[in-house]
């Protein structure tokens, strides 16, 4: 009489174990929601398109009309050796991060009066956020990590 009652938990445990195993194999798992990584990748791609506006004067690795952008995040404004910055940029005491870049790019002359960056900035907040995400991503890319870029 007590036999069947005792076996029951075992069968349940067995079924639970099976469920766990099939769950781990992902057999009947529902499709995962889009990972944040995928959103981020899209933002970086949009930002790369916005960056085309900057490439008239800037490149990631080399200085052009403007200083190179590898290593920008975390860098003191006006600190690339050998680049002819305006006095205003050298004296600005800004460190480039998401916040200061967003301010600068929404109105370069407002944040750094006297800057020689003769560009009106990026008026759209979303474009700026995408652009900054791209710059952050680019800063960590292989292109920016090669010794030639790191030395500059």
Interface with ligand HEC by CB under 6 A: which range of 9-17, 30-38, 40-48, 83-91?
83-91
The Cα–Cα gap between 53 and 119 comes to 10
116 binds ligand HEC (CB under 6 A): yes
Paired with 95 in beta bridges are 76
Among candidate residues 78, 77, 60, the one with its CA nearest the CA of residue 69: 60
Among candidate residues 73, 51, 75, 72, the one with its CA nearest the CA of residue 61: 72
For residues 17 and 49, which CB has a smaller minimum distance to ligand HEC in the complex?
49
For residues 1 and 52, which CB has a smaller minimum distance to ligand HEC in the complex?
52
138 binds ligand HEC (CB under 6 A): no
The Cα–Cα gap between 131 and 25 comes to 39
Q: Which two tokens stand for residue 117?
A: 């960056």
48 binds ligand HEC (CB under 6 A): no
47 binds ligand HEC (CB under 6 A): no
Q: Tell me how far, at minimum, the Cβ of 63 lies from ligand HEC, in Å.
A: 9
For residues 67 and 144, which CB has a smaller minimum distance to ligand HEC in the complex?
67
SS3 19: helix
Q: Which two tokens stand for residue 74?
A: 């975390």
**Binding residues for ligand HEC (CB under 6 A):** 53-54, 56-58, 65-67, 72, 75, 77-78, 80, 85-86, 88-89, 96, 101, 104-105, 115-119, 122, 131
């Amino acid at each position: 009489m007590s036999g069947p009652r005792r076996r029951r938990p075992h069968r349940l445990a067995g079924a639970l174990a099976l469920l766990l195993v099939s769950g781990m194999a992902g057999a009947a798992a529902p499709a995962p929601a889009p990972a944040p990584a995928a959103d981020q990748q899209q933002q970086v791609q949009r930002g790369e398109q916005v960056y085309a506006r900057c490439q008239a004067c800037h490149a990631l690795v080399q200085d052009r009309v403007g200083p190179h952008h590898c290593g920008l995040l975390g860098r003191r404004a006006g600190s690339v050796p050998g680049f002819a910055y305006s006095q205003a940029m050298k004296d600005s005491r800004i460190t480039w991060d998401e916040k200061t870049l967003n301010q600068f790019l929404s109105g370069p002359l407002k944040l750094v009066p006297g800057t020689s960056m003769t560009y009106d900035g990026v008026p759209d907040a979303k474009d700026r956020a995408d652009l900054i995400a791209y710059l952050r991503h680019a800063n960590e890319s292989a292109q920016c990590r090669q010794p030639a870029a790191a030395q500059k």
